[in-house]
Amino acid sequence: MLQRRCKRRTEGWREVGEAIGQMLPTAVAVMLNPTGIVVVILILVTGRGRVNGPWFLVGWLASLAAVGTVMLLIAGGIDATEHGAPATWVSLLLLVLGVLLLLVALKLWRDRPREGDPPKAPPKWMSALDRFTPLKAAGTGVLLGGLNPKNLLLIVAGAAVIAQTGISTGQQIGAFVIFVVIASLGIAIPVVLYFAGDRSRRMLDELEDWMARNSAVIIAVVLVILGVKLIGDAISGISA
């Protein structure tokens, strides 16, 4: 009896590990979101950064968690697996998401900054960041986190990938919590660095400049890899 329980637990952890491995690329893609990183840095360097930075992170976390929870509930209600394999609707969803990610990657590549190009002017709303209240900072985190169109595609893809593994509800929740943590590192690290001292704040300025120059190419490459993977998984699921 004890051996059976240990075997079931081992198999359960292995399934969770497989789910985490499947969703990891989507979490990394969300983590590298350039807009979120730039905005949180700009918030942190304002006079209210000590308060508004953490509130932006709270909004970001809540938004990702809410969108993923809704997707997992939908997947659980419709059955994301059939006889141990991904359900047809999940495979079709992954196919659509994969194509959309490739289109987003193409747009990012075309719009990437060229050498010698002047830096693009930030959106007008960013000039008001120094006047944000904690509530506005949290609301901005919500909008740029789970409600940002690109992030929304990635979160839905990550939740769908977790759901189609067929693991239990508790295991799905655990896997998605890890997804949210990884996807939020791009926001959490600047917040932590801010409280580490003046030297770290200079690092934030350098990070902002680097992200503005290189993020489009990096994200485009990541989205191409992820889009191709999702399309491949979808084709395998449909043909199974």
Tell me how far apart the alpha carbons of residues 24 and 98 are, in angstroms, rounded to a whole number.
Answer: 15
d(CA 207, CA 196): 15
Share of the chain above pLDDT 70, in %: 80
C-beta of residue 53 within 8 angstroms of C-beta of residue 191: yes
- What pLDDT is attached to residue 7? 46
- Side-chain half-sphere of 76: how many Cα atoms within 13 Å? 14
pLDDT of 203 strictly over 60: yes
Highest average pLDDT, of 50-59, 80-89, 114-123, comes from 50-59
What is the average pLDDT score of the chain? Answer: 82
Model confidence band, residue 199 (pLDDT cutoffs 50, 70, 90): low
Residue 142 confidence (pLDDT): 96
pLDDT band at residue 239 using 50, 70 and 90 as cut-offs: confident
SS3 60: helix
pTM of the predicted protein model: 0.81
pLDDT at residue 161 in the model: 85
In the chain, where are the structural domains located?
A: 14-114+122-239
What's the mean pLDDT in 50-66? 96
Lowest mean pLDDT among 95-104, 140-149, 180-189, 203-212: 203-212
Statement: residue 77 has pLDDT above 70: no
Structure token pair of residue 18? 């497989």
Distance CA 125, CA 144 (A): 13
Percent of the chain with pLDDT over 90: 25
